[in-house]
Amino acid sequence: MNHQKVNDQVVSSWRLKLVPPLLFICLALKIASMDIYIPCMPYLTRFFQTQEWVIQLSLMVSPLLSSLTALFYGRWTDMHGRRRIMLISLMIFSVGSLICALSSGIYLFLIGRIVQAAGSGGMSVITLVILSDMFHGIKYARYIAMYHTMFPITFAIAPVLGAQLFERFNWQINFWLLMVGSLIVFISLYWILEETLSSSHKQENDWSALWDKSLLLVTDSYFMTMTLGHCVPIVIACIYSANSSFLFIDHFQCTPITFSYLQLIPVGANFLGAILYRQFLPRLGLERSLQIGLITLCLFISSALFCLFSSKGELPLYILSAICLLNFGLPFSNSTCATWAYESTTTDRGLAIAWVALVRNGLISSFVMLTAAFYNGTITPIFSTMIVLGLIVLVILRKGLMHQSYKTHHCKEP
């Protein structure tokens, strides 16, 4: 049997081939838990007899709390290894999904979402950490691109699947599906996944070192610039995604199934951008890829301004076209910046990845809830917030290019 070394650990080659697909299935479950029930949200408002912002809170609790728990998962996995922590996070996620499926009131549903988020925080972070143990260099960069490709794929499939299941059965079936899927991945990884962190790379510091090491990361201007360059474009896209169901179902009077198919258009653009990014990354290089992200962001801002100030701007066709421009360019900016952020540290990589997730999901939750507070049934508050953040991103990405150019030039000097 063929074997290969991963961080000084001997790993069977057949396991090396099976682990990444299982990790991406695990990631898909985590992503699906965020938006599989978006088509059900207007119905859940009536089912739980609550207000729209409470249901949106249940949506945002997942990225916010998962990022907070990811910080501890990242440190925990640097100290104690990857395998056991991944299995624990999967089991917690499964329990949270079960609570959501059985809930008959909004408080129990929110508790289920909190438990589910506590598990999903480990699933996403440890997936990236295990891949960084197994692969390096350009191969790792391509896996990062594949990691980010999973987001548009899952965001495309999950709402369509959720709407179909909702129409044919009930909203609870979505969470039963997440529970069963996580249990299947748990059993598979239990038998297949071997420890990928060597004993020599385990961190011996106690938990008090978490804050000192975190402080080093957040005060590193290069790391934080790349982190924001990765996070803020995603925040802009999520502002639209979190409010789109109310816009199209309540304002434009679409059915949940029609809305889920409309969502495929911008998500398909994101998927196309991710595929092209991964395909042409070796040829373009990371700096040119980021420049493409800058160009598409400028095009989005121009289209969004047209939607705000033109009498035809509120038509669904123009709204979707603007979002397609944004989503197409996202992989070129966020995947590039993520690669530079992750590779800026050789030690405590789990903690670094967790901090990126914390910043990203914290910003997503904050700005989605801020936009929801001013939502008035039209596209105006949504696109206004997105344009302001888009202008900020242009500055961040430009600064990121300057950082990277200086770093590249400095490394080439004798």
Residues shown for the chain = 414
| Whole-number pLDDT of residue 387 | 92
Q: What are the residue ranges in the chain where pLDDT is below 70?
A: 1-16, 136-138, 140-141, 152, 195-210, 212, 311-314, 346-350, 405-414
Q: Is the distance from CB of 150 to CB of 22 less than 8 angstroms?
A: no
Of all helices (H) and strands (E), which one includes residue 3? strand 3-6
| Whole-number pLDDT of residue 241 | 78
Interval 395-410: pLDDT, tens: 988 887 777 766 655 5
Domain ranges of the chain: 9-197+209-408
Residue type, 312: K
Handedness of CA 167, 169, 174, 177 (dihedral sign): negative
| Whole-number pLDDT of residue 209 | 63
Interval 315-371: pLDDT, tens: 778 888 889 999 898 888 888 888 788 777 766 666 777 788 778 877 877 887 788
What is the Cα–Cα distance from 333 to 316, expressed in whole angstroms? Answer: 26
Distances (CA, A) of 365 to 56, 320, 344, 397: 10, 23, 26, 22
Beta-carbon count within 10 A of 49 CB:
8
What is the Cα–Cα distance from 405 to 410, expressed in whole angstroms? Answer: 8
Contacts of 165 (CB under 8 A, 6+ apart): 173, 174, 177
Question: In CATH, what class is 9-197+209-408?
Answer: mainly alpha
What is the Cα–Cα distance from 326 to 332, expressed in whole angstroms? Answer: 11
| Whole-number pLDDT of residue 3 | 47
